[in-house]
Each structure stands twice: as structure tokens, then as C-alpha cells.
Structure 1
Amino acid sequence: MLSQIYYIARSKADGRYLVARVNRDVADENAGYLLLFSEYFEALTYLNTHGAGVADQFGIESIPGTQLGALLKRWNFIGVGIVRDPLLPKIEFLVCD
């Protein structure tokens, strides 16, 4: 996981990342799972399929696996959601320590 390049979606308006929120009752607005895509086109497919009305408000960035830990800590994410199929969507959630 550390040697791989991932793609993440980030809001052009406020710089926040696209996350999955499992528990809406949590007060911290960043407390969610950062969505990771293994390919650039998968991130675009996900946005265009499930967020067509807001897809143009996001940019896709690449991040090496070695920088994921620092990003998760900085933004106080619970873990990551690795998108395995952007059309369904099929997401594998991993909690990070």
C-alpha cells in the first residue's frame, strides 16, 4: 500500500477532500474515511456517476502511499475508503491507527 500512487478528489472551493461519512452524528466534520482511487479515471468516473451536479467543483490529485499517514493525521480522518468499483460503488474501508 505504501509504494502505490493513489488519486484523491479535492474541492476547488474550500480544499476539503472527498470523504465517506459512516456516522453523521460525529461533531468533527473531517471525521470520515478519505476516498482513495487506484486510477485517475476511476476518480472521475466516481464523481461523474455519483456527483454529476458537483463533479466540476472537484480536482483530482495524486498522492503516494508514503504520504497517506501524514494526510490522515493532519485532517483527522478515521481511515481510508479504497474504491474498488466506482460505478456500484464498492468501497473497502480501512481504519488507520
Structure 2
Amino acid sequence: MVQYLIIAGLLLWSCYVVLRRFMPKTSFKWQQALAVWLANKRFVRLSGWLMPKAAQSGCSAGCSDCSVDSSKADSSKTACATETTKPNDTKEQPVQWR
């Protein structure tokens, strides 16, 4: 019985990690809905602990799409500042095997 509980816990944790990695907006909504439901049931401390942090945007959000800049102040930017090339940058050379 203990083995089944351990495997079930590992499976649930793995599903949670995959959900957070590949569907961040959906997991954010579900986590927020759970926190609000718990707050309505008067589990305020648990609700505050489960409430997700504010969603990040821009280059520090962790997504792989840096073609869109989230700042509305300068709409002429189309790439992240980390991906801009410097004039003296050299291209990487592919490995040449003998």
C-alpha cells in the first residue's frame, strides 16, 4: 500500500511539473482558481500560500519566444536585449571532425 502511495505521489508531482512547464497560463489559472476557492472556504493561510505570483513577461519570463517585446513603451523593439549582436561578435564555427 505504501508503494502505491509513493508512486501516486511521484506521478502527480511529475504531471504538475509538466503542466507548469508546457501550459503555464492554464496552470496559473487553475492554481489561482483553487486559491480563491480555498479563500472562500476560509482557509486563508493555505490560500495565500497557493496563490500564484504575478505572471512574468518580457525576456525574463523564461519562455523561448523573444521575438516579441512585452514592454509597450517602445514598440519598435522586436527582439530581446540579450539577443542583440554586438558589432565585434564572431559567428560560432561548427566542429570539424577529422
- Structure with higher Rg: it is 2
TM-score norm. by structure 2 comes to 0.21
With a CA cutoff of 8 Å and minimum separation of 6, indicate the structure with the bigger relative contact order: 1
TM-score norm. by structure 1 comes to 0.21
- Higher helix residue share: 2
